[in-house]
Amino acid sequence: MSSPIAIPASPSHAVAASMSPSQASSFPSPQMKVKVLHPVENVDLRLLLLENISQEAVTAFRAQGFHVDHHTKAMSEDELVAALPSYHAIGIRSKTKITARVIKAASKLLVIGCFCIGTNQVDLPAAAQAGIPVFNSPFSNSRSVAELVMGELVALSRQLFERAYELRQGVWNKQSKGCWEVRGKTLGIVGYGHIGSQLSVLAEAFGIRVIFYDVLNIMALGSARQVESLDVLLAEADFVTLHVPELPETINMISQSQLALMKQGSYLINNSRGKVVDIPALIDSLKSKHLAGACLDVFPSEPGSNGAPFDDQLNPWASTLRALPNVILTPHIGGSTEEAQRLIGEEVAQALSRYLDYGSTLGAVNFPEVDLRAMTQEQGDHIRVCHVHKNQPGVLKQVNEALSPYNVEKQYSDSKGDVAYLMADIADVSIEEIAKLRELISGTRANILTRFLA
Ligand SMILES: NC(=O)c1ccc[n+]([C@@H]2O[C@H](COP(=O)([O-])OP(=O)(O)OC[C@H]3O[C@@H](n4cnc5c(N)ncnc54)[C@H](O)[C@@H]3O)[C@@H](O)[C@H]2O)c1
């Protein structure tokens, strides 16, 4: 099932609703008529969408007046170097590598959209230094992961995969020994972020008691309870599920001593990152029957493509793990649903559109996050200056000197590492005057990119 992607022609309330209150405050009240902005210098914006990005996104971009070229496959570095110089924006998934060489060749490129969770495939510092923000969609699949964990809780406690596998082999093996309801059991959630907190709500609806451990103090949802340490959680929970990022301190955070603290007959679920669990230690714990089962969706090394083997060459313990009873192994499918893909498409398409037309970098992964309150239709001859520059002393003085003949209605600037970004709305500027302003601001020594929206 799919539904059309709505890319706002102007900052819409749908967009505001997906933002924090402070971000949402930059949007006008429903009574105000928002002025639709467009880049002054790039009338015909050209977008290159690779890796079969959703057709709804293509249609929505075209409806916005963008010229869109849509390809189903990824492009190699050489192909990108040849193709990108004529495009202003590119949308990719995880297979297209945007290297420093590609960025150097892409002289018109303004923005990169990663229609996926990760952004490792892009040289983020090189993009930032070229004045190119990169957008992704890190949390669109939280619900999909949380729902999968609910299924895994039941599947583990009913030995579902063992019984289903036996029957597929033609063996009828009905039994209740070692099979449990999840109702009344305790679920220990490690990492109470986007996924952990969603899961907390779903689990309580099943009558499960929820405790969680997080390095931050977080307001518990429903009747869930935050515990003071990982050790306390491990000792209390019947199911332990991991939802932390991969960080130096979370690598092997569940190893031999943590597994020993877990209750006899309890279960471990990992849908976070493969290196969070010391898998040889987990295998020992399962073999000794200290743990009654485990579910792993992520692994320290994962095959690069579908159909590739999951064997001992990839991970030296793979065949041992595959042979253990009541162990559910899945190929990193936690966030892989059609709904998550659609949300990713919507979120990234909106981010590209908001940057190209309104200059907003909210949500960019490599760039200072800057946005301004929308202009109204009454502000007909106002223009917006978007100035990306090197983060050096004296830049704002130079830019404000250039702007000094005009009334600066609003202005905001922020920096991230070597790159800074200033947005300013200027009143009563004719199109002819823009050329002079462009010359003055682009001519400053720290200039990386200056755009005008009107
Ligand atoms: N299996 C999949 O397909 C799939 C899909 C999406 C996300 N993920 C992974 O799931 C994990 C969680 O994602 P999320 O969106 O909920 O992330 P999030 O950033 O919203 O939440 C992570 C939480 O972990 C906490 N945390 C960090 N270090 C910790 C520590 N040492 N001990 C305890 N808590 C700690 C953070 O404070 C935060 O509350 C990530 O690793 C993500 O990559 C996997």
Determine the pLDDT at residue 98.
98
The answer for residues whose C-beta is within 8 angstroms of residue 140's C-beta and 6 or more apart is 117, 335, 340, 343, 344, 347
318-355 burial: b if 16+ Cβ within 10 Å, else e: beebeeeebbbeeeeebbebeebbbbbbbbbbbbbbbb
Q: Is 152 in the pocket of ligand 1 (CB under 6 A)?
A: no
142-329: CATH topology: Rossmann fold (3.40.50)
pLDDT at 258: 98
What is the 192 CA–ligand 1 centroid distance (Å)?
8
- Tell whether ligand 1 has an atom less than 6 A from the beta carbon of residue 192: yes
CA angle 39, 446, 449 (to 5 degrees): 20
- How many Cα atoms are found within 13 Å in the side-chain-facing hemisphere of 242? 29
Element of type H or E holding 389: strand 383-390
pTM of model > 0.75: yes
Q: Closest ligand 1 atom, CA of 213?
A: 33
The CB of 196 under 6 Å from ligand 1? The reply is yes
**Hey, which of 20, 227, 272, 347 would you mutate to test ligand 1's pocket, going by the most ligand atoms within 8 Å of its Cβ?**
272
Residue nearest to atom 18 of ligand 1 (CA): 193
- How high is the pLDDT of residue 54? 82
CATH number of the structural domain 21-139+340-453: 3.40.50.720
Mutating to test ligand 1, I would choose from 195, 234, 276 the residue with most ligand atoms within 8 A of its C-beta, which is 195
Dist. CA 416 → ligand 1 center (Å): 24
Report mean pLDDT in 10-residue bins for the chain, 454 residues: 43 35 47 79 87 85 90 94 96 94 97 93 97 95 97 98 96 96 98 97 98 97 98 98 96 98 98 97 98 97 89 96 96 92 90 94 97 86 94 93 93 96 93 89 95 92
Minimal CA–CA distance to 374: which of 64, 41, 10?
10
Does residue 162's CB lie within 6 angstroms of at least one atom of ligand 1?
no
- Beta-sheet pairing, 291-296 with 225-226: unpaired
> Token match 């919507």: residue?
346
Determine the atom of ligand 1 nearest the C-alpha atom of 276. Answer: 41
Q: Characterize 214-249 residue by residue with b for buried, 16 or more Cβ atoms within 10 angstroms of its Cβ, and e for exposed.
A: beeeeeebeebebbeebeebbebbbbbbbbbeeeee
Assign 21 to helix, strand or coil.
helix
Torsion of CA 328, 330, 334, 338, to 10 degrees: -130
Residues of the chain with CATH 3.40.50.720: 21-139+340-453, 142-329
- Going from the Cα of 191 to the center of ligand 1, the distance in angstroms, rounded, reads 6
The alpha carbon of 274 and the centre of ligand 1 are apart by a number of angstroms equal to: 12
C-alpha separations of 116 from 34, 56, 305, 407, 453 in Å = 30, 16, 16, 41, 28
Atom of ligand 1 nearest to the CA of 298: 1
| DSSP codes of every residue in 335-362 | T--HHHHHHHHHHHHHHHHHHHHH---T
In angstroms, what CA-CA distances link 165 with 9, 181, 291, 324, 326? 52, 20, 21, 13, 11
Distances (CA, A) of 242 to 120, 137, 193, 442: 23, 21, 11, 49
C-alpha 349 – ligand 1 centre gap (Å) = 24
Q: Report the catalytic residues.
A: 273, 302, 332
Please report the pLDDT score of residue 35 as a whole number: 81
CB of 157 sitting under 6 A from ligand 1 = no
Structure tokens at 348: 């990234």
d(CA 383, CA 405): 14
Q: Ligand 1 within 6 A of 215 CB?
A: yes
Q: How many residues does the chain have?
A: 454
CA of 292 to the centre of ligand 1 (A): 25
